[in-house]
Amino acid sequence: MKKICFSGIALLLLLGSASQTLADGDFTFNPTLQFRGEYDDNLNFDNDNEKSDWLGVFIPSLKAAWQTPRLDIKGSAEAEIRRFCSESQFDDEYQRYKIDSSYQLFERLTLEAGGSYVKDSTLDSELDETGIVEDLYGRDRYTLDGGARYQLGERVSSSLNYSYGDTSYDSPNDIDYDSHSVVGSLSYLFRNQRDQVFLQPSYYSYKSDISKVDNYGLSLGWNRSLSEKLTLSCYLGLRYTDTEYSYHYYVPVFDPSSGTIIWQKKKETISEDDFGGTADLSLSGKTETLNYKLSYNRDLSYTSTGSPIDRDRFIGSIKWIMSQRLKSGFDAGLYFSKANDDYNDEDSIYFYLHPYISYRLMENHHLQIHYRYARTKDKTLAENDSYDRSRIWLALVFNFPKLLD
């Protein structure tokens, strides 16, 4: 009910602000269907209780957009229905919804609003965000976003964005939490139209039943167009993190009224702070037949255990157009995740390799073959600390033509 209320409020506000301009807009609607047959040799990514199985995946999705000279609304919806041949206890239905909008209120002022809801698993989402392997349990997250962009001058612009998130888990061992973030930006575009510098202050807050994390940051950024098809982005910064932990325990207390010993619940709060560095570097380019990107990110991340971690993430991707019908690609990632406090012993390394190939059967329909290999090393385990997972799947993707109005 909480998710429905938030989503309904956001949608009503969006439609209310747009009601005067929708009649003159251009509407596009793009549905997609994907059927996938997959084999997974360690579907729960476990180190001592591996389960392998075949599964079928059906993914219907759609993207829609409405655009006028002043208003831009984009939305997407996707379902992922997963059915296993033998391990039916892992059958599940994922859902992903997202809406973003921007409205040019004045010549220099643009307002933005959006929201999302995702129902998936910790093994998918937490692994992508933190590089830490979790058990295969359900996770729900919804977000609301709002912000504004203001053009201060011909080459000077500013922005301010706020985001609220709520994350909840089906696992009894994971900790639900709320998050807030406020990110500002002040940028200057040089006369050469190729260099742009940024000053970006930020504040992030994470709160759960066992911890509260306040993270303050300041970054300097630089975007450089090295050529028409090659772009470099570089952000470097400092952060200050203040973490407060709450522990509950019971002590024996004599009750005079009953003349017996009872157990009384006590709460203890421990605080610690920490300074660190942040970085976000990327190089992206393209040629007639290639698209590629290399990136590195270092930042503080919040885990399902209610503790912050320092996460270093290297990502690389390349797409190659081999012919009019044949395309191939390769993605790879490397994560280093380490506890940021004295109360969590997390220390792990995770990497994955993902080659794939796609053949165009018809104008909008493709046959794809994917292989993904992943491996993790958990340094907190005394034995069997390194284990892997291999997946291979064949997919039929039907991209239907865009419907225009």
pLDDT score recorded for residue 304:
87
Band (195; pLDDT cuts 50, 70, 90): very high
Is residue 381 very low, low, confident or very high in pLDDT (cuts 50, 70, 90)?
A: confident
CA 6/CA 390 separation, integer angstroms: 39
Is it the case that residue 263 has pLDDT exceeding 80?
Answer: no
328: confidence class by pLDDT, cuts 50, 70, 90: very high
Going from N- to C-terminal start, the domains of the chain cover: 2-404
DSSP 3-state of 124: helix
Say how far apart CA 179 and CA 274 lie, in whole Å.
Answer: 19
When the candidates are 2.30.29, 2.40.160, 3.40.50, 1.20.120, the CATH number that belongs to 2-404 is: 2.40.160
**For 340-352, what is the mean pLDDT?**
85
Q: What is the pLDDT of residues 161-182, one digit of tens each?
A: 999 999 999 988 889 999 999 9
Kind and range of the H or E element at 395? strand 386-399
Tokens (6 digits) for 75: 């939305």
Alpha-carbon separation of residue 276 from 107, 200, 308, 396 (angstroms):
39, 16, 12, 46
* Residue range 265-291: mean pLDDT, rounded: 89
Cα gap 163→214, rounded to integer Å: 15
CA dihedral 258, 259, 261, 262 (to 10 degrees): 20
DSSP code of 22? G
Nearest in space to 300 (alpha carbons), one of 180, 375, 213:
213
Whole-number average pLDDT of the chain: 89
Q: Could you tell me what percent of the chain has a pLDDT over 90?
A: 68
- The DSSP-derived string for 97-120 is EEEEEEEE-SSSEEEEEEEEEEEE
- Residue 256: pLDDT band (50, 70, 90) is confident
Q: In the predicted model, is pLDDT for residue 30 greater than 70?
A: yes
User: Is residue 135 very low, low, confident or very high in pLDDT (cuts 50, 70, 90)?
Assistant: confident
Q: Is 86 helix (H, G, I), strand (E, B) or coil?
A: coil
Which pLDDT tens digit goes with each residue over 77-86?
A: 999 999 999 9
Query: Using CA atoms, how far apart are residues 145 and 180, in angstroms rounded to an integer?
Result: 10
Q: Is residue 341's pLDDT more than 80?
A: no
Query: Is 53's pLDDT higher than 70?
Result: yes
SS3 label, residue 153:
coil
How many H helices and E strands in the chain?
Answer: 2, 19
Q: How confident is the model over 228-247, as a mean pLDDT?
A: 92
| Predicted TM-score of the model (pTM) | 0.86
Beta strands in 122-259 (DSSP E): 138-151, 156-169, 177-189, 195-208, 211-227, 230-255
